[in-house]
Amino acid sequence: MKKVAITGLGAITPLGNSVEEFWQNIIAGKSGAGPITKFDASKFKTQFACEVKSFSPEDYLERKEIKKYDLFTQYAIAATDEAIQDAGLDFGTMTQEQRFDVGVIWASGNGGIGTFEEQLDEFHKGDGTPRFNPFFIPKMIVDIAAGVISIRNGLHGPNYATVSACASSNTALIAAYDAIRLGRANIMIAGGSEAAITPASIGGFNASQALSKRNDDPQGASRPFDANRDGFVAGEGAGALILEEWEHAVSRGAKIYAELTGGGMAADAYHLTATPADGIGALLGMQKALNDAGLTPDKIDYINTHATSTPLGDISELVAVKTLFGNHTPAISATKSMTGHLLGAAGAIESIISVLAIQNNIIPPTINTQNIDSAIPSGLNIITQQAVKTKVNYVLNNTFGFGGHTASTIFKKV
């Protein structure tokens, strides 16, 4: 099958609205958490999140366009614009036939949930007469970001959305990877975006006991693997990657960050929201990714874990890691300790971190983790507090979602 190169990156995150700013804050071990500003959260059990800061849609869109697009689509546009520029692509100079072979697979777990809430609120404030914004449906549906990206750039290749909760954007990357390997496209834009810091989202996650309630210490709340963790911190933003058929990238002299060399998907087949103690879905997803890449576990240098800071999830993932890797001890870190959990966009921004770890030979830290939970298997190489400079040739990136979805990707140094 054809090889797949990563030639462009773009990011809108709680730690910066460019890849460079984001990466510098990640390796510095900064937290993106703070009090919620998007709505009055004073009566909510959780009153903080990892919000995107200083985002101006006017930097990317005309005023009339802003009205048409939910924030999750605005984030998607901003991140993909950066990734396209970073890859040195100018679709305007391509022929239509060339653009037949450029596609978009974009993920989100919640799509336009903010738009959905606003429109229903307006409806219930009225007299019951259904007066909805004509853009309500296209602003809300999950696939619209993929459609808008293709429309803005005139791209006619494969175009759709993937939804597998918090595994969504890793699933999108694997689908884009397969499209190129199977000869269905030469270039794919893949990633995910989320704008779900809303009353319904925060309230719903509170009701399911998923969120941290550490309101007195937002920046210390996301603490994967720590004995005193009490849930995840909600995040928002977008991550975009340009995937390109290897020879196509080489022929145009593209900068190649890394090779996407393996992808694996599986299911826990266990519970709506909980993970099984043996981490069977995580284990299978990682093993399938290794098989796809033609690798043995000892080749992996770093695992960017899903590790959301939930009591059960962190343990089951590391049980699976211990089962699969045995005495081999790749470096492990949980960057959600800094970004919060970007839900459907998590896999994309963590793939960017994985690629940059390879590029820079740096393992990002897990911040806030002070006392490793005794239930976590011993003998693991968990990187805490500070980034570590070391050779990084292969990175495994894990993402898991409500419903038991698991997706793992592997990146390789070039």
| Residues 302-327: tens digit of each pLDDT | 999 999 999 999 999 999 999 999 99
Task: Give the tens place of pLDDT for each residue, 104-141.
Answer: 999 999 999 999 999 999 898 888 888 899 999 999 99
Looking at residue 182, its pLDDT comes to: 97
> In the chain, what are the domains?
4-251 (3.40.47.10), 264-412 (3.40.47.10)
| pLDDT given at position 129 | 87
Which of 50, 102, 142, 166 is labelled catalytic? 166
Q: What was the pLDDT predicted at 1? A: 85
What is the pLDDT, as a whole number, of residue 70?
A: 98
* Residue 173 pLDDT > 90: yes
Average pLDDT over residues 323-339: 98
Q: How confident is the model at residue 328 (pLDDT cuts 50, 70, 90)?
A: very high
pLDDT band at 363 (very low <50, low <70, confident <90, very high): very high
144, burial (CB in 10 Å: exposed 0-12, middle 13-18, buried 19+): buried
Whether the full predicted model's pTM is greater than 0.85, yes or no, is yes
Per the annotation, the verdict on 166 as an active-site residue is yes
Q: At what angle do helices 71-86 and 113-125 cross, to 10 degrees?
A: 160
Which pLDDT does position 128 carry in this prediction? 82
Residue 396: what pLDDT? 99
Q: By percentage, how much of the chain surpasses pLDDT 70?
A: 100
Rounded to an integer, the average pLDDT of 337-356 is: 98
3-state secondary structure 346-383: HHHHHHHHHHHHHHHCEECCECCCCCECCCCCCCCEEC
Distance (Å) of CA 232 to CA 31, 124, 242, 339, 387: 13, 32, 29, 11, 22
Q: How many residues does the chain have?
A: 414
Locate 2 and state its tokens: 């054809």
